Amino acid sequence: MLNKNIYLILIISLVFGISFWIGFNVNLLPAEASINAPIYDELFKILFIIGLIIFIGMTIAVIYSLFKFRKRNDQIGDGIALEGNLSLEIVWTIIPSIIVLLIGLYSYNIYDRMGGMKELNHNHEMMSSNTEKIWAGISQTSDNEIAINNLSIEVSAMQFAFLFNYPKGNFISGELHVPVDQKVSMKMESKDVIHAFWVPEFRIKQDIIPGQPTILNFTPTKVGKYPIICAELCGPYHGGMRASIIVEEESDYKEWFNKNKKPEVNL
């Protein structure tokens, strides 16, 4: 009996140890390039570790049962006539409930930190009217945000391209240029079918829905060039509907902006 308990404790420790080791040392995600990314990765790590513990534990239990309790050639008859165990069943109802509840609360906290529970900025400078319904995206803010003022960009999605309108510069670009460490606020509209704006390195995604503008805010934290991918099936060339987001230093961004800027035409 004592031996059995020691083995059990050893196996459980091993499962936990392996799961934590994999969780902390195996990185399955792309680079972190926005304020959102490390927050997301924190949640991913926790879910990954809990998932590994359950998966490895269950797999060991099944394979062990198959070997340990397999029917030998000389055996006849049945196994033990055990039809249930109320206390055991209560335990494996309550413990998963608590785990699920804790995961839910934790993910709520993560979502809140990402800005998902905040009211969107309804004084958005690009809104055509106060009555226009803006649908929720992520409106992210951060205490240590360096942003002084938001950069506002209008995104138009169509089969099979993204177009980025910079209202302050009165020009449209096929590439999205943004300065590092500054909050970007995008108002997104679709010209035809549903598209989705996804930057894997930023861990953000938002559908672009015809007839319903959506807003997406993010703050890039790492200089570089990242793919913008349409994630919603939008037609034959869906796989080719990609663009680039170029995160650059403030001075480089200003240089690019000034090069493309057009004078406003007053009619």
Q: Does 229 bind another protein (CB under 8 A)?
A: yes
Of residues 11 and 103, the one with the C-beta less far from another protein: 103
* Of the candidate residues 89, 249, 250, 255, the single one contacting another protein (CB under 8 A): 89
> What number of other Cβ atoms are within 10 A of residue 63's Cβ?
10
CB contact set of 53 (below 8 Å; sequence gap of 6+): 15, 16, 19
The interface with another protein within residues 120-149 (CB under 8 A) comprises 135-138
Q: What is the distance between the alpha carbons of residues 203 and 116, in angstroms, rounded to a whole number? A: 13
Is 180 within 8 Å of 222 (Cβ atoms)? yes
Cβ 156 to another protein, closest distance in Å?
A: 15
Q: Does 263 bind another protein (CB under 8 A)?
A: no
* Of the candidate residues 38, 224, 239, 262, the single one contacting another protein (CB under 8 A): 239
Cβ 252 to another protein, closest distance in Å?
A: 25
* Residue owning tokens 């240089």: 255
Of residues 211 and 263, the one with the C-beta less far from another protein: 211
* Of the candidate residues 85, 145, 146, 168, the single one contacting another protein (CB under 8 A): 85
Q: Does 184 bind another protein (CB under 8 A)?
A: no
Tokens of 190: 């679709």
* Of the candidate residues 11, 30, 150, 256, the single one contacting another protein (CB under 8 A): 30
Q: Does 108 bind another protein (CB under 8 A)?
A: yes
- Using the CB atoms, write b or e for 164-174: b if 16+ within 10 Å: bbbeebeeebe
* Of the candidate residues 34, 140, 182, 206, the single one contacting another protein (CB under 8 A): 206
Q: Does 240 bind another protein (CB under 8 A)?
A: yes
CB contact set of 165 (below 8 Å; sequence gap of 6+): 153, 154, 155, 156, 171, 172
Of residues 10 and 105, the one with the C-beta less far from another protein: 105
Cα–Cα distances (Å) from 229 to 108, 200, 207, 234, in that order, read 26, 8, 11, 12
State phi, psi for 76 to the nearest 5 degrees.
Answer: -125, 170
Q: Which stretch binds another protein (CB under 8 A): 124-132, 177-185, 186-194, 256-264?
A: 186-194
* Of the candidate residues 196, 243, 245, 247, the single one contacting another protein (CB under 8 A): 196
